[in-house]
Every structure is written in structure tokens, then in C-alpha cells.
Structure 1
Amino acid sequence: MDGDGARQWRSRSHRDVRHAFLSRAMRIVRLALLSSALASASPGLAQTMVTSDAPGAVAVTIYRAPARNPDQEMDLDWLEGYALVSETRTIEIPAGRSIIRFEGVAAGMLPESAIVTGLPAEAREKNLDADLLSPRSLYARSFGRPVTIRRVGQGSSTEERAIIRSGPDGAAILQTADGFEALDCGPTDDAIVYDGVPEGLSAKPTLSVQIDSPRAGWATVQLSYLAWGFDWQANYVATLDPEGDGVRLTGWVTLASSDSTTFPDAETMVVAGEVNREDSAPYPDDPEGAVSFTCFAAPMPMPMMVPPPPPPPAPAAMAVPVQRDLSEIVVTGSGTTAVQEELGDLKLYRVPFPTDVAAMAQKQVALLERESVKLDLIYRFDVAYDYDRMPARIVLRGRNRESDGLGLPLPAGPVALFRPYGDTRLLIGEGAIDDTAIDEKVDVDVAEATQLIAAVVNRSEKKGRFDREVTMTNALPGAVAGEAMLGPVAYFRLSRFSGPGRVIERDGKYVWVGELPANAATVIRYRLRER
């Protein structure tokens, strides 16, 4: 082969080798891309974990417990109301399959109610991490792990390494260098100090969402969900005017949360009215996640022991979280009150400033403050069916209208009535009001009046006819407004009446109204005939 032929052959050989190399390289690249595509499409393959540790902004709307009456206090151990929580978070999302973890959601979240918007792709699945850190779960997940027993006696404290050998029910059995023993069955107070948090336990309630994102980038995500373990109610304080010209009325919104999550600087709202819910709040068998051990044998005296040398350095000790007392109440200043808004057939009250909806706590926010409200104090007897002596009931009565100093929707809640006494105030009694719309009647039964007594005598009784005499005695030093419920209009007809005052029809009943003089008896007589 001449020189030109050899050069052409070498050139062709080089081209063939280069072509073969490039073809093989392209096949490898295509296979790699195909493998990557298959990995992102296959749920069993690796996926990226992204954690959002807290929301950037949060709004909490609390709904009252549907079955709780206005005069029934909130059960702080089992709050049956719920909240709508709306969170805004900014998250960096990778391309392909990933799991987005929303830490710090409400522990009482209903995961089926969760709605996530703003993601670059629809969520494939949602999971609420239920294995949360608590004294019980910490002990249970530490089975077979080394811990430290801290023993506190009279003027001494010792520590000893041990291994947990029992579950969280019954006695706490631990293995030490001297053998097996039951915790807290001796003369010392024993406690367990953990080296750390076992894998899989989360200190924060977490919602996980799996997505397949077509691209990487930052996203502003809105997470909304319902959660149990919240409630609210209105509380009113009415103080009688010393001159008898109405009352000074103050109202508060009391927020309560039995959830373990705190929502700081939350836009907070409450909704008045009954919202239909088809399910009820689940009763927590162990709401605090507490652990309680029983010593299975009588305590035996322990021999004196020389304190062992300090244990070797270990990771930072894990202290069991301290539960906050739900009876703690934080009261805001009364300078700013909640703002009432319309929500269809319901009423919404918005706290006009960001506030902390704290875990395991209560908070009170000012609802209203009126210096002079026309509410009258009435002493009422119900003599329709009783023929014996009975005390009067103290009733605070008026109308919810602007001309009388009110004129705004009043949420249901307890009412405490006070009377000025020198430089202080004395409690007369407590009652409650239902949700009261504008121009509706306000009628609050607050207490029993022991200084006003009614005696009912049936003077004669014939078929279908009743002649009655009622003697109402007022032992107070001043005259008061009184009334007596005589009987239902639907069943009786009032055919005869004598005595001071007058009889009117109100709310389907015959009602005597008049003044009861001080230190005197007022007698009325009347006849009722059956219809």
C-alpha cells in the first residue's frame, strides 16, 4: 500500500473508531436518561426529601363545639370545637419525585381535609406522621437502648447506666450492671434520662406530600386543613349602675387550644353560629402522651451504696417535654376589640392584630365595651304549676338595639352580673345568652333571689277551672320590678284578675308585671279556665 493509501486507510480507521466511540457514548447517555426517567416514574426508587420547618404566615379560624350549650364551660381536657388552619410557606422544590414535609402542623389535623395549592404538580399522596415525641413514645421507642437512671434520695443524687427491657405499660424494667430491677420501687425517686431522640420520632407534627415536579424552583405554597382540639366562647361581664340606669357591659372572646402546636403571630378569627359537622371530636385515650408505671412489688429498703464514678460522656441528654397547663390564660389589652363581619348566615369576629394561638393554653381578646346599656333587673316567679313557696329568679332583660346601647350581634356565652358595693363589686350570679341578633330580646337568668318569696294557694278547683292566690314578699330595702308567669295561653284562658299591676301576654304565656314594694307583701288573685 502506497503512502496515500495508507493515510486514507488510517483516516478512515480513525473516523470509524471515533464514530463507534461516539455511538457508544450516546447509547450510554440515552440509557442514563432512560434510567433517570424510570427512577422518577417508579415509586419504589430513590426520591428527594424536602422539609419546610414552619409557615411564613398562618391564619387560624376557630369554630365552637357544636353540641356545647352557651352556659356550659369549655372542657379543657377535651375541646370538641375545631379550627380551619391556613398556612403559607415558601419551599425550594427539586425536579423529579420528592417528598415535601410540612413540619409544625396541628397535631389534631384531619389529613383528609388537607388542601395544598401552589405546587408545580399535583400531590400523589398525603401522610400525617403520627409517631410524635411524647413521654410514652420516647420510652416505647427506646426499648433495648441504653439510658441513664437518675436516683434522687435524701440529700444525694446518683446516676447509673441501664438498658430498657419493658414496654410503657406496667412496671419499668431496666437492666443495670447488677441485673434487672423495677424503676421507682425503692426509697429514691427515679427518673430516666435519654441520650437522644430515637430515629423515626418527630418532635413536631408533620404532613408529608409526595409530588413529581417537572422542574426545579421556588414555590409559594398554601396549606389549608381542619384540626380538632380547639374551641372558643364569648364571656360577658355586666356591672349594675349605682343609680339603677342600666349596666356597664364588657365582652371577651376566649380562645382555647389543647393542641401541642403553637401558631405565632396568627391572623385569628372565630365563627359564631352552628356549623353542621357529620363527625365528632375523637376522645383522646391518652391526650398528653403520658406514661405511668406501676411498681409490682412492695418497696424494699435499698442498702447504702457508694456513688459510682461519673458515667462516660454521652450525647446531649434528652429531657422529656414539659406540658403547659391548659388553665393558663393570657389576656390582651382592652384597647382594641374584635371586628364583626358577615359570613353568610354566620357571624365572623376578626382579632384586629396578629396574636399567638398558643399550645395548651387559653387567651382572651376584647369583644365589646359599652359604658351604658339599658338592661333592666327583673325578679321573676314561675307560679303556673307550683302551689308552694318559691324564691324569685333574678333576670337581666333588655333588647339588643343601638338606641339601648347595643345594636350588634352577640355571640352565645356566659354572663356574670356584678353589683357595686363601696369601692368594690360583688357577684350577684351567672347566666348565659344564646346567639342574639340585632333587635332580638336579651333575657339572662342569673341567680336565685332569696329575699323575694312567693306563696301560691289554690283557693278553689272545679272541673276546668282554677282560682289561685299568689302572695309575693319583698324583704329588700327598696322596691323592685317583678313579674309572675301565670300559665300558657294555649291551654288556659284568664277569666278573672284582681290586685296591683297588670297581666299581659308574652311569649305564649300570661305574665303579671308590676312593682314589688320594699319590705311588703303583694297579693294577686286570678282565675284560669281550661280551653
Structure 2
Amino acid sequence: MRRFVLGLMLAALPSLAPMPVGAQAIVISPRPDKVAVTVYRDPNGSSAMELGWLGGFALVTETRRVTLPAGEVDLRFEGVAGGLIPQSAVVSGLGDGVTEKNRDAKLLSPGTLIDAYLGQRVHLRRTSKATGKVTEQEAIVRASGSGIVVQTESGIEALRCTGLNETLLAPRVPADLSARPTLSVRARSAQPVEADVTLTYLTSNFDWRAHYVATLAPDGKTLALFAWLTLANGDDTGFVNADTMAVAGRLNREQVERMQPEVRSIAISCWPSRRTHQTGIPPPPAPEFKRDRDEAIVITGSRMTMAESPSPVTAVSAAQENLGDLKLYRIPIPVTVAAHSQKQVALLKQPSAKIVSKYRWDTRFANQTDGPRPAQRLLKLDNRKAAGLGLPLPAGSFTLYTMRDGQPFLLGEGAMTDRAIGEMVDVVLADTPGVEIEQRQLEAVGNVRETILIATNDQSIAAPLEVRFGDDAKPLKTKSGSVKRRDGTWVWEVVVPANSSRELTVRHAND
């Protein structure tokens, strides 16, 4: 009889034993022949993606060639995504033969294997540390969980509590345990079937982001814009040579609870017993079945991240298409979306996009600073073809460089929101110490209060500045710039000369 050592069972899987007469036939599809993955973003995601906590999802379509016997059969699709949402799964290609589908939550692990053999016979092998003598006998598994209890000819005892090296050997891996996430369906056919079956499902723990890398021209009026599309797969399953797409936009989608696969280690605790005392040898420490051993059965992939560069030499570029109100970015060649990894492909490249660079300060009338504070640098881009853009821009992070003596220097980092063709794009970068704002409250006169803003520029060039007020206090008393109402907000627009300053007084009447 072919046996499997429990401690080493993850090294290989046995073929299934012949089916008893009248038993349910089982057909296993080990992997897809072709797969397509469409990744949808987390609508609330804006920061860097964490592989263990991805809020997007993916639509996976797998094509598998299967051969089914006549009658009723359980067809097992192994290697599906671990985050598969069972109620979303659709199987086509078998006509009306599919009568039931199940997401098999139990994966092959020491704990689940022992559970499968509760009440059944296994082989018990013991090795004496003192003499090296090996004894073998049959045993019945009576309990598992916090420990393993077996029954032998001598009685009932706890495994690994005799002071001897003990190993359980199972005759085979049960048919309902798989080393990989599995979806099974029950199908019925009057005659044998050989067909291409398509399995489509939604799965959680995927996401994607756009990352814009811009290089400012020497005159400061244009920039070279390049963008990466970064795909993230936090699942235990990877997809090799997949037709891959990413979708931008917001979808109405109900939250569903993800089914976690059951992978369980074995914790063994012993208590003094007569047989342990007889051996005169203290029991060995309980073996540790660590999580990394469980994960050894998972198809994994290395992180595949291309270096960020304002001007990459070669890159696979995603092609943009319309998908109703959404935007779809199709990667033109098959790519591997590996497990627990990120992959980057080129999203767009615009060599000369016009920009207006200015500085911004957001405040309220009651605000007061304890000294000068740096303003934020603001880039304004006109998303029209005439301005060097004119294409849908998905939300993502933004990094701005400038070139000096042939070397790139970082100017700042910010973020972009989704912008359609024809819209203005505002990119707010980090605080810039070259332009600073100081705001001080003045002494009230009667029911009138005033605050003064002082903008300074210690750079060698003039700095356009806009100050936005978040309340109804009207800015007054400025000898430079202009004050206007924009989108319900008072805005002071002024150009602060090089190595100079400008002031604005804001007045507010008490209620």
C-alpha cells in the first residue's frame, strides 16, 4: 500500500486511488489552458498599495479543456484564486449539465489531513532514540485539534507523548483536499463529453495604481510626462501569461465577505503518562508546523517591478479603450500576474505637456501661524490635445523631477485624481520652502476683526501665488494682485517678485 508521511506530505501529491464501484466520479482540471485577468481599482485607494490589504478586485476568465465520463461527475477546478467569490462563479461550455457548484475551503495541510482520517486507520511508525529500533503498527485516529489521539492494540494514547519519535503515515490524500484553492461543480451528462469549459469569477485582493513621472523643462513651461500602470496581486494564486487589463472609474458594487481557505497546523501538547515514564526519556518538544511550510504549496512569484524612470528605453504600453462610462487599459501582450507581487507596464508617454506652475495656500480667517509656513507648489495642466495632453488620466501618484547637469533632481511628489479629456488638472506637490506665508490676527476694532497675510519669496524668480479662504471673510486692502470669487471661495491671486513680499488684509465683522 502506498503511504504518505504526515510531516513531509507537502512535498508531493499522490494520484487518486481507483474509484469504488458506484462512487461519485471525480475529474480534476489542474490548471487553466488560457486565462484573462481584468483588475478594478479600490475606489477609495490613494496611498501606496499593501499586498496584504488590497481593496480592489479582479474579474478572472479561465479556459480549460476537460474530458468527462457519462453520468454524474464532480469537476474540480484547481488553482483558482484564493479570494474567489463563490456566488460570482459562472461555468459555461457544459450546457445545462451543471447542477451544483462549491468553493472547497479546505486546503491540504497537516491539520486538515488528520481531520480527514478521523475514525480511519493509518500507519504508525515509532523509532527509539536510545536503540534506533523501528516498530510499526496500525492505528485509528480518534481525535485531533490541539493534539492527536490514536487507538492502537495497546489502548488509547496521545501522539508524540511517549518520548519516542513517532510518525503517522496516511495511505492517500483524500479526494476533497487540494494543495491549491479549488472550485468544484457537479455536472451530469448522458454521454462522455470533451469540451472547452470557461470559468469566470470575481476575486478579491487585487488592485492597481497609476504612477506619473514628470521631468520639468528648463524654461519651466512644459514637462515630459510618463506614467506606469502598477498591477498588484495579493492572492496566493498567480496567473501565467494572462491577457491582462485594468479598468478606471467607479462601479456600484456590494461588499461581500471573503471566504478564507482553511489551512491548519497541528499543535501537540502532552501530559505525564505511564508509557512516557516507562521509557525513561523525556518527550521531545512538539514539532512546529509554521505558516511558511503551508505556503510552500502555493505557486509564488518574485516581485516584478521595473525601475522608475522619466524616460524608459523599452516598455510594454497599455492601450486605452472606452468601456461605457469607464476606461479600460489593455496590455497588448500576455503578462504574468504573479502571486504576492506587483508588476508595472507603461501607461502613457507625452513628451511635451504645457503647464502653469504656481504656489497655493489654503486658510481660514481665524487661522494664525507662529511664523512663516511654506506654501505648496501647484502644477496646472490643461488636458487638451492642443496643450500636449488630451487623453483620459486615471488617478495616481505624481513625481516631479528637474534635470541639472545631466542628473535628475526631485522637486516634489503629489497625487492626481481622475480627469477626463478637456478638464483642468491640478497637481499639488509637497510644501516648498522658497515661498512662505505668515498669517497674524490684528487687534479688533469694535465688531470688526482683521487678519493679515504676508507672502515672501526668497527665490531668484517671481512666484505666482493663490491664497484660498475657506469661509465668508472678504479679503481687503491689497495693493497687488486681485481678489475674486471662484467656486464659492474667495481667492487672492498675486505674483510675488523675486526676493520680495506682498501683503493682504482680510476683514470680518463679528455677529
Which of 67, 71, 74 is the equivalent residue of 1:96?
A: 71
Q: Which residues in structure 2 correspond to 1:354-373 (within 5 Å)?
A: 354-373=334-353
Query: How far, CA to CA, are the matches of 1:288 and 1:484 in structure 2?
Result: 56
Which of 66, 80, 84 is the equivalent residue of 2:55?
A: 80
Partner of 1:393: 376
**Paired residues of 1:80 and 1:281 also in contact (CA < 8 A):** no
Partner of 1:330: 305
Partner of 1:506: 486
Residues 218 and 296 of structure 1, relative CA distance in 2, 3 Å threshold: closer
Residues 453 and 120 of structure 1, relative CA distance in 2, 3 Å threshold: closer
**Paired residues of 2:28 and 2:76 also in contact (CA < 8 A):** yes
- Structure 2 unmatched ranges of 5 or more: 1-20, 127-131, 149-157, 272-280, 282-292
**Structure 1 counterpart of 2:177, one-letter code:** L
Query: How far, CA to CA, are the matches of 1:417 and 1:283 in structure 2?
Result: 42
Aligned length: 444
Partner of 1:273: 249
1:112 matched to 2:95: no
**Paired residues of 2:122 and 2:169 also in contact (CA < 8 A):** no
Query: TM-score w.r.t. structure 2 length?
Result: 0.75
Shift in Å, 1:290: 7.7
- Structure 1 unmatched ranges of 5 or more: 1-43, 150-157, 182-191, 298-304, 306-317
Q: Which residues in structure 2 correspond to 1:426-465 (within 5 Å)?
A: 426-459=409-442, 461=444, 465=448
1:224 matched to 2:200: yes
Q: Deviations over 1:425-454 (max 9, x none)?
A: 233332211211111221122201223221
Q: Which residues in structure 2 correspond to 1:345-356 (within 5 Å)?
A: 345-356=325-336
Shift in Å, 1:61: 0.8
Shift in Å, 1:239: 2.2
C-alpha RMSD of the superposition: 4.0
Residues 231 and 453 of structure 1, relative CA distance in 2, 3 Å threshold: same
Q: Which residues in structure 2 correspond to 1:408-423 (within 5 Å)?
A: 408-423=391-406
Partner of 1:175: 160
Partner of 1:53: 30
Q: Which residues in structure 2 correspond to 1:114-513 (within 5 Å)?
A: 114-134=89-109, 137=112, 175=160, 178-179=163-164, 198-199=173-174, 200-280=176-256, 282=258, 289=263, 321=296, 328-331=303-306, 334-385=314-365, 386-388=367-369, 389=371, 390-459=373-442, 461=444, 465-488=448-471, 491-493=472-474, 496-513=476-493
Shift in Å, 1:422: 3.3
Residues 466 and 178 of structure 1, relative CA distance in 2, 3 Å threshold: closer
Query: How far, CA to CA, are the matches of 1:254 and 1:405 in structure 2?
Result: 24
SS at match of 1:329: coil
**Paired residues of 1:269 and 1:348 also in contact (CA < 8 A):** yes
Partner of 1:24: none
Partner of 1:64: 41
1:522 matched to 2:477: no
Query: TM-score w.r.t. structure 1 length?
Result: 0.72
Shift in Å, 1:167: 6.0
Partner of 1:187: none
Identity of aligned residues (%): 38
Q: Deviations over 1:169-212 (max 9, x none)?
A: 699x962874489xxxxxxxxxx999998434311222111122
**Paired residues of 1:498 and 1:526 also in contact (CA < 8 A):** no
**Paired residues of 1:236 and 1:414 also in contact (CA < 8 A):** yes
**Structure 2 counterpart of 1:245, one-letter code:** K
Q: Which residues in structure 2 correspond to 1:15-30 (within 5 Å)?
A: none
Query: How far, CA to CA, are the matches of 2:135 and 2:504 in structure 1?
Result: 85
* Higher alpha-carbon deviation: 376-385 or 53-62: 376-385
**Paired residues of 1:493 and 1:530 also in contact (CA < 8 A):** no
